[in-house]
Structure 1
Amino acid sequence: MTAPHSSTPPFNPPFNPPDPPPSPADSAIDLRGRTALVTGAAGGIGAACALRLAAAGARVRAVDRDGSGLDALRARAEHLPGAVEAVHLDLTDLDAAEQAAAGTDILVNNAGTQLVRPIQDFPPEEFRAVLTLLLEAPFRLLRGALPHMYERGWGRVVNISSVHGLRASAYKSAYVAAKHGLEGLSKVTALEGAPHGVTSNCVSPGYVRTPLVEKQLADQAALHGIPAESVLTGILLADSAVKRLIEPGEVAEAVVYLCGPHASFITGSTLTMDGGWTAH
């Protein structure tokens, strides 16, 4: 008697090989003549977005406080049709952030941080810092960018939100609050920008293979007293139907899609990339 055939799909490893760098041949969207600003561009999702926009021909202002990371990004972008300009800036300098966004056609609000603590143990100053970077800085960047977009009659705002902008998880009060706020800010921007040819949308991924997620593995392992690999499979990916981390390049493809001419009627929306988490 043979053993019954198992219908359980094979487990996909959560850590995948890095994406290959984008090439001009990959880009069907032409963003030549457009100026884009990407925050948190020195690594992870931000770097992938900067490279993908440059592959489409955009001039990209890559904003980050990590100077060495920006230098590495510029080196990776040398072969692309567009250009990458490194802008060394701490976005908590809100006045400087607003000034840096002047003259941009595409704004990608991506910079982020995370701290995992129970509410009663969450330092108030850290709560304020997370909201400043993830919500107030995007507001100030919008203030700087929208006048130029309105003048030209065209603009694209893409906010890198999170599945936590749609659902909550314990121990992430500041991050969840900020991302819920960013989703709301994006919708208000869509309503105000529509008469001026400006769209505003969120891309809301689940867990992406970035240093921010790696830090969460360590934080949650310490919080729950379990190994980091158990955090990944038992906590982070527990509610995801697709049992792997998202690649930064997958998020970048969604961003550049929303910047294309075929997406002109998509505004005030959220493109959710969560592997089926919110399907529950």
Structure 2
Amino acid sequence: MTAPPAPTALHATPLDLGGRTALVTGAAGGIGRACTLRLAAAGAKVRAVDRDGAGLEALAEHSRDLSGTVEPHVLDLTDLDAAELAAAGTDVLVNNAGLQLVRPIEEFPPDVFHTVLTVMLEAPFRLIRGALPHMYGQGWGRIVNVSSVHGLRASAYKSAYVAAKHGLEGLSKTAALEGAARGVTSNCVSPAYVRTPLVERQIADQARAHGIPEERVLSEVLLQDSAVKRLIEPEDVAEAVAYLCGPRASFVTGTSLVLDGGWTAH
């Protein structure tokens, strides 16, 4: 009787993006900054896109000891033609930039609604459109859209943000279906509240909208539906983004990697 074969040793495959060009929007702070540093640490040349030139320069300085490089690219994503051009030649695209305003619908400024949809839905469409020819040409590409639990669940007083994130989830799935036969994956990472300036800035608005003191917003509004009662760190989101760019995620496409602390388990 022959002995059974010895078990095959499992070896973790590190993320190696050497020779790849990535583009990250909203790169100067928060989730975008963490994603930029993570991809650069994996060897990528990262085009860091943001309106904040000083923030981008600080990011580039911070990244000098990493194996990849960070190239600051000052850009306002409401310039849609420029956004599409900026994405040309990229192997990895991370659509992250976002903005938020908390108001009841009847008080929500229409111009702000338009701007939110432009930056958070139309600009990702144009960036994907700009990136796909190169991705298709080489038979490989990774699109990661930083969505939100609000791409899966609605919240009061966030009409523009919720609409944009729901649209982004649909756009991501469409890109996945179109790109599957050409080696391009498209996914969303959908976190709950992350410890970022975007979240910190909305606490006063949330307090006013809900009629409660600011110190009660975190526990009674932001974390009310989360089983894990803490904010997510930007680096946790960046690690999820990195996984979707890695060799073990080639069959993961058209889905949302949800980091919501159990929010959607209700």
Sort the TM-score into its range (normalised by shorter chain). Answer: over 0.9
SS in 2 for 1:31: coil
- Of 155, 162, 175, 2:141 maps to 155
Residues of 2 paired with 1:55 and 1:155: CA distance? 19
Deviation readout 1:95-134 (Å, 9 max, x if unpaired): 0000000000000000000011111111111111100000
Residues 90-239 of structure 1: matches in 2 within 5 Å? 90-239=76-225
2:51 alignment counterpart:
65
2:9 alignment counterpart:
none
1:7 alignment counterpart:
none
Given residue 82 of structure 1, which amino acid in structure 2 is its aligned partner?
G
TM-score of the two chains, using structure 1 as the length reference: 0.90
2:39 alignment counterpart:
53
TM-score of the two chains, using structure 2 as the length reference: 0.94
Given residue 164 of structure 1, which amino acid in structure 2 is its aligned partner?
H
Q: Identity over aligned residues, as a percent?
A: 76
SS in 1 for 2:187: strand
SS in 2 for 1:133: helix
Question: What is the Cα deviation at residue 216 of structure 1?
Answer: 1.1
Question: What is the Cα deviation at residue 218 of structure 1?
Answer: 1.4
Question: What is the Cα deviation at residue 224 of structure 1?
Answer: 2.5
Residues of 2 paired with 1:35 and 1:77: CA distance? 15
CA contact (8 A) 2:89 2:134 kept: yes
Question: What is the Cα deviation at residue 227 of structure 1?
Answer: 2.1
Provide the alpha-carbon RMSD of the alignment.
0.8
Number of residue-to-residue matches in the alignment: 254
Question: What is the Cα deviation at residue 239 of structure 1?
Answer: 0.6
SS in 2 for 1:242: coil
Given residue 168 of structure 1, which amino acid in structure 2 is its aligned partner?
A
Given residue 263 of structure 2, which amino acid in structure 1 is its aligned partner?
W
Question: What is the Cα deviation at residue 61 of structure 1?
Answer: 0.2
Residues of 1 paired with 2:210 and 2:103: CA distance? 11
1:84 alignment counterpart:
70
- Of 7, 23, 37, 1:37 maps to 23
2:233 alignment counterpart:
247
